[in-house]
Amino acid sequence: MTEANLDYTPLAEALSAASTIGVVGHVRPDGDALGSMIGLVLSARAAGKDAVASFGEPFVVGDEFGFLDLEALVPPREFPKGLDLAIVCDTSARDRVGSVVGRVESAGTVGVIDHHRTNGDFGDVTIIDSDAAATTQLVYRLLRLLDWPVTPQVATALYTGLVTDTGRFQYSSTTPEVHTIAGELIEAGAVPATVGQSLFEEVPFGYYAVVANVLGRAVLEEEIGLVWSVLYKSDVEAADIPPTATDGLIDLVRMAAEAGVACLLKETAEGVLKGSLRSRGIVDVNAIAGALGGGGHHNAAGFTIEGSPEQAIARVRELLA
């Protein structure tokens, strides 16, 4: 169920009133989650607040995000208890907060800023706009309302969320406002070449073998418009690359023009698979992921499932039919 809350005033007032602020994103944060939490924390600090960001275990940030000001982050065990205000960014459901959830919920007020079709099951003060391209777009609007500083590092963090969640400004969510905000962030000091080179133009050489394995074992089921593949733990171990380096693989798997839906199953532990689903627009993959205990957006969603890849794909096939 989509819960919309487009009134920015309550959360802006909570931020103004708070002295101590913590910001978290979802587990295994992507560019939008990292950009939202780092951008909000750095701006809060520049506005004179005591602010810190974190996310649930595993506390790992990929090398490709090295251009962000990672000093804003502390490990989840160091995320303070009893803050005035804790804000959860870019997180579609409470269970995606992970191991830091107890510390978040010990805050006086819990805020949520999100653009997922979230079930709205958590947070005292929320901004939820599923039409937004990225959570950083919502954070930017909030900072403008507060008139808090957008330093070059804040701008870089917020720009990162826009670039990653719009697939480099080409998904249907890419509105004139997205480009306007991107332009304002560049004026404020974000450097597109720095962000783009690090995120999209550099991989460890070992990644080539992983790509070859995953694309080599891809299966096209043209009659149902599905393309799918599997990434095994052994692929990642043999290539000696960090697991975070595999986040872009789904973007290669989903390129088959014959398929409207793509699925990549990543083995995270023996018998445990993390599924990524992508749609070209007709099929609502959020509904499929939701039926499997996960969630996300209409065109991009995920879930975790136990069993073999064949068993997992059989479930996806059933739900597609």
**Which H or E run contains 51?**
strand 50-54
Listing DSSP states for 156-197 in one string gives: HHHHHHHHHHTTTTTSTT--HHHHHHHHHHHHTT--HHHHHH
| Least CB distance to ligand 5GP at residue 166 (A) | 13
Cβ proximity to ligand 5GP, 18 vs 218, nearer residue:
218
Q: Are strands 85-89 and 109-114 parallel, antiparallel or unpaired?
A: parallel
Segment 212-218 long-range contacts (CB within 8 Å, at least 24 positions apart): 214/249, 214/252, 214/253, 214/264, 215/252, 215/253, 218/253, 218/256
| Least CB distance to ligand 5GP at residue 75 (A) | 21
Cβ proximity to ligand 5GP, 45 vs 116, nearer residue:
116
Cis bond upstream, residue 58 (ω within 30) = yes
Cβ proximity to ligand 5GP, 241 vs 285, nearer residue:
285
Pick from ligand 5GP, Mn ion, none: which does 39 bind, CB < 5 to 8 A by kind? none
* Separation CA 298–CA 285 (nearest Å): 6
Pick from ligand 5GP, Mn ion, none: which does 294 bind, CB < 5 to 8 A by kind? ligand 5GP
Q: Which residues contact 290 (CB under 8 A, 6 or more apart)?
A: 301
Task: Please give the residue whose beta carbon sits closest to ligand 5GP in the complex.
Answer: 302
Cβ proximity to ligand 5GP, 161 vs 225, nearer residue:
161
* Separation CA 24–CA 41 (nearest Å): 10
| Least CB distance to Mn ion at residue 90 (A) | 4
Is 118 buried (19+), middle (13-18) or exposed (0-12) by CB count in 10 A?
buried
* Separation CA 262–CA 253 (nearest Å): 7
| Least CB distance to Mn ion at residue 115 (A) | 6
| Least CB distance to Mn ion at residue 174 (A) | 14
| Least CB distance to ligand 5GP at residue 128 (A) | 14
Pick from ligand 5GP, Mn ion, none: which does 27 bind, CB < 5 to 8 A by kind? none
| Least CB distance to Mn ion at residue 32 (A) | 3
Chain CA centroid to CA 145, Å? 24
Contacts with ligand 5GP by CB under 6 A lie at 26, 92-93, 96, 250, 276, 294-297, 300-304
Pick from Mn ion, ligand 5GP, none: which does 118 bind, CB < 5 to 8 A by kind? none
* Separation CA 230–CA 217 (nearest Å): 7
Cβ proximity to ligand 5GP, 159 vs 303, nearer residue:
303
Q: Cβ of 219: how many Cβ atoms within 10 Å?
A: 12
* Separation CA 181–CA 158 (nearest Å): 9
Contacts with Mn ion by CB under 5 A lie at 32, 90, 135, 165
Cβ proximity to ligand 5GP, 191 vs 215, nearer residue:
215
Pick from Mn ion, ligand 5GP, none: which does 165 bind, CB < 5 to 8 A by kind? Mn ion
Cβ proximity to ligand 5GP, 76 vs 295, nearer residue:
295
